[in-house]
């Protein structure tokens, strides 16, 4: 690119395109490990996040420590939305179509112990699925910020 020429229309369009591409790449690499693969890919892609979401919901509804807030809840819908959420937050090719974590959990009065129990369940599921420590930690790190919206008690 010639110096100063970026003010012309054609060049500025080209610059913008390059900038957009660059920021897209920067965004993608933010979610990728040194191998260039996103956490989503490293945990096993769609099949893995679907299985993790499904197992987590099934376990949380059965576990007396967390069953309380799941009563009468349409679980299939939660599994679909949680799968979208996990896919999206781990850098997978999904959009999350559900409500915000704050709206989803508002009024449920979830306490720290309940949240910790869920985290423990998730950790066990990931161990069972043979995920390495690094992926397990990254997954927990990705989900940790939701705590401020989930725990209200």
Smallest distance from another protein to CB 69, Å: 9
- The rounded distance, in Å, linking the Cα atoms of 14 and 12 is 5
Smallest distance from another protein to CB 151, Å: 15
Q: Decide whether 103 or 112 has the Cβ nearer to another protein.
A: 103
Smallest distance from another protein to CB 108, Å: 6
Q: Decide whether 54 or 91 has the Cβ nearer to another protein.
A: 54
Q: Decide whether 106 or 142 has the Cβ nearer to another protein.
A: 106
CA angle 96, 87, 82 (to 5 degrees): 60
Which residues contact another protein (rule: CB under 8 A)?
71-74, 77, 99, 103-104, 106-108
Q: Decide whether 51 or 104 has the Cβ nearer to another protein.
A: 104
Smallest distance from another protein to CB 66, Å: 15
């Amino acid at each position: 690119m010639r110096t100063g020429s970026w003010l012309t229309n054609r060049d500025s369009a080209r610059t913008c395109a390059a900038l957009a591409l660059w920021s897209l790449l920067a965004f993608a690499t933010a979610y990728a490990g040194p191998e260039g693969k996103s956490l989503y890919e490293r945990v096993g892609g769609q099949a893995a996040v679907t299985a993790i979401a499904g197992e987590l919901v099934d376990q949380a509804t059965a576990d007396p420590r967390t069953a309380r807030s799941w009563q009468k809840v349409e679980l299939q819908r939660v599994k679909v939305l949680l799968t979208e959420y996990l896919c999206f937050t781990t850098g997978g090719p999904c959009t999350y179509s559900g409500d915000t974590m704050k709206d989803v959990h508002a009024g449920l009065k979830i306490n720290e112990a309940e949240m910790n129990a869920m985290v423990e369940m998730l950790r066990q599921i990931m161990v069972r699925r043979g995920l390495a420590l690094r992926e397990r930690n990254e997954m927990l790190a990705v989900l940790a910020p939701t705590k401020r919206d989930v725990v209200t008690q």
